[in-house]
Homo-oligomer: A and B are copies of this chain.
Amino acid sequence: MVEIATQADAAAQPRAPLSRARILGTAVALADEGGVDALSMRKIAQALGVVPMALYKHVANKNELLDGMIDVLVGEIDPPATDTEWKTAIRRRVLSARRMLLRHPWASGVIESRMKARTTPTPVVMEYLDSMIGIFRAGGFSIDLVHHAMHVMGSRLLGFSQELFEDTPDRAPDPDAMPPEEMAARYPHITELAMAVAHDPESVVGSGCDDQFEFEFALDLTLDGLERLRGTV
C-alpha cells in the first residue's frame, strides 16, 4: 500500500521535501498496485500529500515521468557479470530483466510505448543496451552478428516476450464464456494443445504451463542458434 499523507502527518512534521526520486518511487509503487491506466498525476500527488501541480516542478510532464519510471525499473536489473563467458552473462542479465518485469507487470507496455514515442532512449536505457552489446563483443561476436543478435533478442532483450496466454489468475471469469464442447469444435488445435498442457503430470496447478520453462526454452533456442552462427558471419 502506498501511504496516503493525512492532514495529521502534515501538521506533525513539515513533510519530507518533494524530489524527482520520491515522485518516481511513489509512481512506480502506485502503478504496481493499480496498473498504469489508474496512474494519474492527481493520484501521485495525493499519495505524496501534495497538490498535483507541485509535481511539475520536478518532472516536465506525464510522459517524462513515465520515462523516469522506466529508468527506475532498468536500474533494478542486475549489472552484467564479468567473470563468465558471454552466454551465461547474457542469460543471467536477461533473466534478471525478466524478474523485474514480473515484479512490475505494467512495465513492458510502458517501455514499448515510450520507446516508440522517443527519438532516443533515456541515458539509463542506452547504458543498458550498450553493456548488452559489450557482452556479445567480448564473447567474440562480429559486429554484424551482434547487430542481428540484438534484433533477434528483440522483445526478449528487455526480458519479456508478451506471452499470449499469460497466467494472470486474478481476473474476473468471463460471464459469457464458451462451453468446452463448443470450444473444442471451433478451435480444435487450441483445445488439443490446452489438453496436452493441462494433463502434463508435472504441472497440475495454475495454467498448467510453466512460463519460466517456456521463457528459458525460447531463450536457449535463440542463444543456441546464435552460437552456431558465431564465427561464420
Contacts and interface: CB of A to CB of B under 8 A. Distances in A.
Interface of A: 105, 108-109, 112-113, 115-116, 119-121, 123, 126-127, 129-131, 133-134, 137, 143-144, 146-148, 150-152, 154-157, 161-164, 166, 168, 171-174, 177-178, 186-190, 192-193, 196-197, 209, 214-215, 217-218, 221-222, 224-226, 229
Contacts of A173: 119
Given A119-B171, A119-B172, A147 B112 contact: no
Q: How many copies does the complex hold?
A: 2
Contacts of A209: 147
A198 to B, nearest CB: 11
Contacts of A221: 152, 222, 225-226, 229
Contacts of A127: 186-187
B168 A116 contact: yes
Chain A residues touching B, majority SS: helix
A206 to B, nearest CB: 15
B217 A148 contact: yes
A159 B96 CA distance: 26
